[in-house]
A and B are shown apart, each in its own frame.
Chain A
Amino acid sequence: GQQLNQSPQSMFIQEGEDVSMNCTSSSIFNTWLWYKQDPGEGPVLLIALYKAGELTSNGRLTAQFGITRKDSFLNISASIPSDVGIYFCAGLGRSNFGNEKLTFGTGTRLTIIP
């Protein structure tokens, strides 16, 4: 089945630093989505990517849909305390039933060191 490898698993950075995380897959996806999740809360959509090669920004966030459609990265510039949380990539592709299915990466836990 489809699997997403997300790295790094965790990051410890200082406020103001830039952050970069990525996802790779053995399968092709039609859409890449990046979510942020706070403890006990639902994933909140950050950025959606629909075309191979697409580069999209949302404030301090920038994400790209890889040319091969098997990878994506998310960058956060000038991190602030509210960026703390778990970031998930998610790929939307075809399931074995022929329908669209969202597969999550393993998550990147971002911690900001005082």
Chain B
Amino acid sequence: AAGVIQSPRHLIKEKRETATLKCYPIPRHDTVYWYQQGPGQDPQFLISFYEKMQSDKGSIPDRFSAQQFSDYHSELNMSSLELGDSALYFCASSFRVPGNTIYFGEGSWLTVV
């Protein structure tokens, strides 16, 4: 079965640069979530989208933005990167019905140097 696809898997950027992460949800899933996981930490919720509209917002910095496109894929844009942004970024998707489950991609590892 198709899973959540994230790209790139690994990314190295310098401070103050910009990075874009992409997420392709499971087919027919209408909701996308973004999480950030620092070393040894549990995943922290950043932002989510339902039917291309922002549905919830967590601890996403103002330097970050995201959107969901008409084909339901989503992109997380990170600007003015800081060393502390180095983390594993996960995208997850679900289909919004009662009792839905949320499936995660394999993550994009961002290293800021």
Contacts and interface: CB of A to CB of B under 8 A. Distances in A.
Interface stretch (A14-22, A68-76, A95-103): A95-103
Contact of B106 (A35, A42, A50, A88): A42
A63 interface: no
A101 B107 contact: no
B37 to A, nearest CB: 9
B88 interface: yes
20 contacts: A31-B101, A33-B101, A35-B104, A40-B109, A41-B107, A45-B102, A45-B104, A92-B102, A97-B55, A97-B57, A99-B50, A99-B55, A99-B56, A100-B56, A101-B48, A101-B56, A101-B58, A102-B45, A104-B43, A104-B44
A104 B42 contact: yes
Nearest to B55: A99
Interface in B49-108: 50, 55-58, 88, 90, 92, 96, 99-107
A39 B108 CA distance: 13
Nearest to A104: B42
B56 A40 contact: no
Interface in A23-54: 31, 33, 35, 40-45, 48, 50
Interface string A56-67: 000000000000
Q: How large is the interface on A (under 10, 10 to 19, 20 to 34, 35 or more residues)?
A: 20 to 34
A106 interface: yes
B90 A43 contact: yes
A68 to B, nearest CB: 19
Contacts of A42: 4, 6, 90, 104-107
Among B6, B44, B56, chain A packs the most CB atoms within 10 A around the CB of: B56
B45 A43 contact: no
B24 interface: no
Contacts of A88: 42-43
A40 B99 CA distance: 28
